[in-house]
Amino acid sequence: MLVLGVVRIFQPVHGYDVRRELLSWRLEGWINVQAGSIYSSLKTLERDGLISITGHEKTDGRPERTEYAMTMEGEKTFQQMLRKAWWQVERGTEPIVAALCLMPFMARDELIAALQARLNQLDGETNEIRFARDSIRDGATGANGDVPEHVREIMDFAATRLKADMDWTRQFVRRLKDGAYTFANEPRSIGDPMG
């Protein structure tokens, strides 16, 4: 949807410009913005008839670049995808959910240490987002390479999720330190399926 949306905004547009725009929106933690992924998405969108090639541009010292524009079918699909993203809540895969299911196979001390490391990582990400958000200029539209002002909402969303994750992690560490659950190196009770 994002690649299609950027094509819609800037058409006709090159793959390089699509990637540059997505990078300016600071989406690296949410989507794959590697050049190969962007070009692969463009090829898929073209194959599916959602965008079309409008021309090729060759400039001095650069390889030929393909220009893309959205088709009528692309506009229809884009509108459907946009509304679905707003109206339906979808859960992403979270590796920690599987790890929580299997946590009794770890030692309590190791799990607490891993959760402390998780907190440090989450705190670092939060600080990075806060710094990036503060660097966005009021009224920026994305022209002249500025990060568009609305990207603050993406950052606020990400920071809110990180805060919730940190709050849960701190509470979970407290419960573990207070003796909740039984772990791999601890005695088990009779009838315990892990015993």
User: For 11-64, what is each residue's pLDDT tens digit?
Assistant: 888 888 888 887 777 776 667 677 778 888 899 999 999 999 988 877 777 778
Cis status of the peptide bond prior to 193, with omega within 30 of 0: no
Spacing of C-alpha 45 from chain mean position: 20
For the chain, percent of residues with pLDDT exceeding 90 = 42
Tokens of 126: 């939060």
pTM: 0.72
Residues with Cβ within 8 Å of 192's Cβ and at least 6 positions away in sequence, in order, are 182
